[in-house]
Structure 1
Amino acid sequence: MTFVDEVKNAVTPRAALLVLGVLALQLLFIASYVGALHKPDPTDVPFAVVAPQQVSGQLVSRLEELPGGPLDPRPARDAAEAREQIMNRDIDGALIVDPRGTTDTVLVASGGGTVLADSLTKIMEKVDATQRRTVRTVDVAPASPDDFDGLSSFYLVVGWCVGGYLCASILAISAGTRPADRQRALIRTATMALYSIAGGIGGAVIIGPVLGALPGSLWGLWGLGALVVFAVGMITLALEALTGVIGIGLAVLLIVIAGNPSAGGAFPLPMLPDFWRAIGPALPPGAGTWAARSIAYFKGNALTGPLLVLSAWAVVGTALTLLLSMRHSPDPTTGPPATTPAATDLRPGGSTAA
């Protein structure tokens, strides 16, 4: 065979398409991560202002007109209301103006992201400096000293997501990418559920009692972890049932390339560009990261939205996996399809090998 013939024999059209698909994923990975994280700037950060009535409106207007639009300010009645809104995760910070002195207070929550908390402090220092005033910072939901930059929640959720799609991929290709019939799909779903329970408690124990990186309820994190793993695993199984081995690449596209940079981990959502800020809360990494931080630092507040998102992914993934498996299930009235002989034994009295 000539060299060209060898190449044609080795590189099939299917292999070439898969390689091109991998190249596309690689370029999308670079574009997504660099696009989301190369220039973090706070934009429209929900921010409360507590000030005397006669100056509150003017201060809110001045903050709205800051270059680049970093804040989305709104008045609050008093410091207690501002604190409550931060703990409910309705806002990310607040300015408390002292009408009797020259030192104001900035309320932040580093548990929701240290980088954002520091940015809010710097913004208010510059604003107050123009009025010959100073600020002091009060952290109402401080990140753990062992949780550098508040990243532990994000890495925990990334680990759960990786486990979910890797387990689903192994379940799908263990039989040589054989399409799942109804019985096999049920077995894979049950296995995924058991794996999710183990993965959830394992991650919660490591991040909490073992490393002490996150405070909060161990049981809450366990439940969250099991839901994240199961949601990612089942949507991966559904994509594989729909498109075959290509589904693994689609899962990587959805969870890793689109989900991780938009999760608000390295930089909280208000510091991401519009596209990533919009998709982040709707994807498992973003919903999981928000929920983990709420459990760890915000007394379990603001969990309904992200739990509904994760539950929707889990339900859709499970339903699609089971429905698509019916395409490959034998008809109960005709039995399994007949097997076509693959080879014939030519020995005397030879038999057929299936």
Structure 2
Amino acid sequence: MNGTSDGRPGNGPPAPAPTGFLAEVKDAVRLRAAVLVVGVLALQIAFVVSYVGAFHEPRPRDVPIAVTAPTGALASDTARRLAALPGDPLDPRTVPDEAAARRQIEDREVDGALVVDPGSTTDRLLVAGAGGASLADALTEVVASAERSRGRTLRVTDIVPNAPGDARGLSSFYLVIGWCVGGYLCAAILAISAGARPANVHRALIRLGALLLYSIASGLAGAVIAGPVLDALPGGVGALWGLGTLLVFTVGAITLALQGLLGIIGIGLAILLVVVLGNPSAGGAYPWPMLPSFWSAIGPALPPGAGTFAARSISYFGGRAVGGPLLVLAAWSLVGALVTLVCARQRDESGRTSGEGAAGAPG
């Protein structure tokens, strides 16, 4: 008889596979794939919420603006009136004279300056279009409306304008986005080609070294394309190259670290951090004072925001105020590299322990 004593088949033909639509679905879509698809859906929903939430109602919020007048009393009175505008669009502070106001704009301490002329019915507004065209436009609209309510007119002067090849000042933002995309794609490819988690510290160092070489090449390519090739950004190639190298390595190191912690799911979390949260809060299309409080708060602390601010500073403001953004990128980069190495070391030690246990076990 071809069978066993309990009725189970012995050496006979295998039992037929389950049939029916539900069985086909279970066979075609494994549990792991289903979980990943649900994760993709969640990421997509987060993308929509983040971008629509950040951009659906841009308006100025506490925009720093300098106010100067021939007398301190007039400057203080004007600043108080601007601070009392409905919705708190401005955050005015007085400065001694126009030269001080210009310095603060060029140092990126304020986004504009109102120069009051009591001997005329026209005041002057100084703006920096290179800091964000949408912000300069909004600032002009708010101050012009306040001036009209007092029967005065406004003359606007852009003291830091965008380059002719940099429409609306968006080239630095898109350059940074390109660098960020390259960073996490490079790290993702390293994971796909050789496993999400490096097996030991040496392999983690190799991945970080490969990422560094890619970052150097990517930073140079972006700086050359945005500068001499397309004539979009007027900043020096060397400074932009350095920024691009740091930014690409930072995003790649974050991705490697998340992969080391969570495997392939880490790529999705890197996209959540850099793309879903980082891009809309970067201050590109709408600078930080134009964004809702959540996005304006997280923007400076994330790589896209730090990179965009630094790229604009390098290109238009002589590199002023780049220290903070560079420290943000350096901190992310260091943490990402250290986490990558620690995860690799733990994986290596865990593998050795398992190997020793298997070798010492009875055969």
Secondary structure of 1:180's aligned partner: coil
| Equivalence map 1:295-334=2 (5 Å) | 295-329=314-348
Secondary structure of 1:138's aligned partner: strand
Secondary structure of 2:93's aligned partner: strand
Q: How many residues align?
A: 340
Q: Which residue of 2 aligns with 1:344?
A: none
Alignment check: 8 A CA contact 2:58 2:291 kept: yes
Amino acid at match of 1:285: P
Q: 1:116 and 1:23, CA in 2 relative to 1: closer, same or farther beyond 3 A? A: same
Q: Which residue of 2 aligns with 1:188?
A: 207
Deviations 1:240-276 (A, max 9, x none): 0000000000000000000000000010000000000
2: CA distance between counterparts of 1:114 and 1:155? 15
Amino acid at match of 2:50: S
Amino acid at match of 1:172: A
Q: TM-score, normalised by structure 1?
A: 0.92
1:67 paired residue among 86, 89, 100: 86
2:146 paired residue among 107, 110, 127: 127
Amino acid at match of 2:20: T
How far the C-alpha of 1:215 sits from its partner, in A, is 0.6
Alignment check: 8 A CA contact 1:180 1:241 kept: no
Alignment check: 8 A CA contact 2:196 2:260 kept: no
Amino acid at match of 1:202: A
Q: Which residue of 2 aligns with 1:111?
A: 130
Secondary structure of 2:318's aligned partner: coil
Deviations 1:294-336 (A, max 9, x none): 0011110001100000000100000000111012226899896
Identity among equivalent positions (%) equals 59
Q: Which residue of 1 aligns with 2:238?
A: 219
User: Given the alignment of the two structures, is residue 137 of structure 1 paired with residue 137 of structure 2, yes or no?
Assistant: no
2: CA distance between counterparts of 1:254 and 1:48? 34
Structure 1 runs not aligned, ≥5 long: 341-354
User: Given the alignment of the two structures, is residue 154 of structure 1 paired with residue 206 of structure 2, yes or no?
Assistant: no
Q: 1:136 and 1:300, CA in 2 relative to 1: closer, same or farther beyond 3 A? A: same
Q: Which residue of 2 aligns with 1:96?
A: 115
Aligned-pair RMSD on alpha carbons?
1.8
Q: Which residue of 1 aligns with 2:252?
A: 233
Secondary structure of 2:104's aligned partner: helix
How far the C-alpha of 1:337 sits from its partner, in A, is 6.5
Alignment check: 8 A CA contact 1:43 1:270 kept: yes
2: CA distance between counterparts of 1:258 and 1:332? 36
Alignment check: 8 A CA contact 2:197 2:344 kept: no
User: Given the alignment of the two structures, is residue 2 of structure 1 paired with residue 12 of structure 2, yes or no?
Assistant: no
2: CA distance between counterparts of 1:300 and 1:233? 25
Q: Which residue of 1 aligns with 2:54?
A: 36
Q: Which residue of 2 aligns with 1:22?
A: 40
Structure 2 runs not aligned, ≥5 long: 1-18
Secondary structure of 1:329's aligned partner: helix
1: CA distance between counterparts of 2:195 and 2:289? 44
Secondary structure of 1:288's aligned partner: helix
User: Given the alignment of the two structures, is residue 85 of structure 1 paired with residue 104 of structure 2, yes or no?
Assistant: yes
User: Given the alignment of the two structures, is residue 244 of structure 1 paired with residue 263 of structure 2, yes or no?
Assistant: yes
- Runs of 4+ aligned structure 1 residues displaced above 6 Å come to 331-340
Secondary structure of 1:95's aligned partner: strand
Secondary structure of 1:47's aligned partner: strand
Amino acid at match of 1:19: V
Q: Which of structures 1 and 2 has the bigger CA Rg?
A: 2
2: CA distance between counterparts of 1:142 and 1:264? 17
2: CA distance between counterparts of 1:330 and 1:114? 54
Alignment check: 8 A CA contact 2:197 2:260 kept: no
